Amino acid sequence: MRRALAWIAVVVTALLLQSTVFAQIKLGGAKPELMYLVTVVLAMLEGPASGAIGGFSAGMAQDFLLNDPKGITALVLTVLGYVVGTVRQFITTPSPALPTILVGVGTIGGVLFYGFVAFLLGRLPGDALFLLRVAVLSAVYNAILTPVAYPLLRRVAETTRTKKVHRW
Amino acid sequence: MATTYRRVRSTRLLVLGLLVASLVAITVDARGGRDGPMATLGRGLGAVMGPLQEGVAAVVRPIGSFVTNVFRSGSLAEENTTLREEIAALRREAAEVNSLRRENAELRRLFGLSERHGFTLMGATVTAEAPGNFEWAVIIDKGAVDGVTVDMPVINADGLVGRVVDVYPGSAKVMLILDPDSAVSVRLSASGDRGVLQGQREEPLLFRLIDAETEVQPGEAVETSGYSLEEGLGGVYPPSIQVGVVDSVEPDPSNLTLEVRVRPRVDFSRLSTVGVITGQQPLPPPEDADST
């Protein structure tokens, strides 16, 4: 319960920051995609199942604040959380740059997938070039924010993780 | 081994369930439209987020100006701590005063505009933007309790901003004319030739003329026509609100008509004070009509 509340607070804070602070500080006209960042980091830290659930919840929260059909971002972030969580299990490098790389790559892939789903539903606002530009810029922005966001999110994950108790 | 297999299988089933839930949400939302259960849930979340966004925006705006000022003055770091704090406080105050002055000037111009057109105007402040990168909308601090309803036009001192698309108790969402879903029925101020202006994201707006033979020159003013073409296209905005100026005129790829691009008058990157048009009073007859 405590864990769920902590991650809900993270999602609400990210949504607030994205629609207020980062609406004023854009990178080449693009905002960061903080829901993608939160999903990728959650999947990295907690695995594919938590990544998928977190992605679905964060996506639904963002969808409810958009005019697009509710469920597109949820679908995209569910897949993103699952894929990143699964891939992470096979990566053994101790590189401190790993979160930044995964967030960057995950955001590009996620935004392009969002564009594909939106295109299938006839809701893509622009051409492929525009989509690619937004994907790259928001991925770069997310990657820049990761060194700050990752330690905070890891702390949230560690302090709210269920601890195993061994009884003798 | 068997445990791992079971865990992988249950994770896959979970993901499959979530994907199905997403698809169900998309379908229910598409079928329910504006009054459907998903839209109602969305309005519920919007009602919660509105005051939070307003609070964050109130804190962030002066700090944003303050941070900008600090970035512009590197030499402050070398001065002593007391002096730095004093300067920082003064700058913060100056930023707040400048922000208030600008807001005051914008409101004066806005209400001057409303008097000229006979609009009943409600002043509002932009508190946030839509969170995504694929939607061009802002959140204002006036909502249902203030009398705001869906489809009310929104302007600022420079011209047309957009229209209200969603209303929460204390806030509302305004779709900007930049959004590709936005279509405004407009006319050229000089000739009166009509057409529909469509949002093109950050690019100049696309003006689709009804009469392909129309002669258009760059620099011509474009205003709302108050004319309804068909259901859902135009008809929401009162006539004679300035929208933009013609930026470029080129034959379209088919060579059958013109591709007219219009640069909006409103600077959407600095949108802060806006007015919601809640009604329009009949204007008095022009003075020259009385004299003849």
Q: Can you give the pLDDT at residue B142?
A: 92
C-beta of residue B174 within 8 angstroms of C-beta of residue B140 = yes
Q: What angle do CA B250, B254, B255 make, to 5 degrees?
A: 50
For chain B, what is the mean pLDDT? 80
Residue A121 belongs to a domain: yes
Query: Chain B residue with minimal CA distance to A52?
Result: B15
Instruction: Give residue-wise pLDDT tens across range B63-118.
Output: 555 554 554 455 455 557 777 777 777 777 777 777 677 777 777 777 777 777 77
Note whether B4 contacts A: Cβ–Cβ < 8 A. Answer: no
Residues of A in contact with B57 (CB under 8 A): 20
Mean pLDDT of B168-188: 91
Residue A38 belongs to a domain: yes
Residues 64 through 83 of chain B touching chain A, CB cutoff 8 Å: 64
Residue A168 belongs to a domain: no
Which two tokens mark A81? Answer: 């959380």
**Number of compact structural domains in chain A:** 1
Residue A64 belongs to a domain: yes
What range defines the domain where residue A36 resides?
2-159
Residues of A in contact with B22 (CB under 8 A): 56, 59, 71-72, 74-75, 78
Domain CATH code at residue A56: 1.10.1760.20
Residue A164 belongs to a domain: no
Q: How does pLDDT run along chain A (168 residues), one tens digit per residue?
A: 788 899 999 999 999 999 888 888 888 888 999 999 999 999 999 999 999 999 999 999 999 888 778 899 999 999 999 999 999 989 888 888 999 999 999 999 999 999 999 999 888 877 889 999 999 999 999 999 999 999 999 999 888 877 666 666
Residues of A in contact with B181 (CB under 8 A): 67, 125
Residues of A in contact with B173 (CB under 8 A): 67
Instruction: Give residue-wise pLDDT tens across range A37-61.
Output: 999 999 999 999 999 999 999 999 9
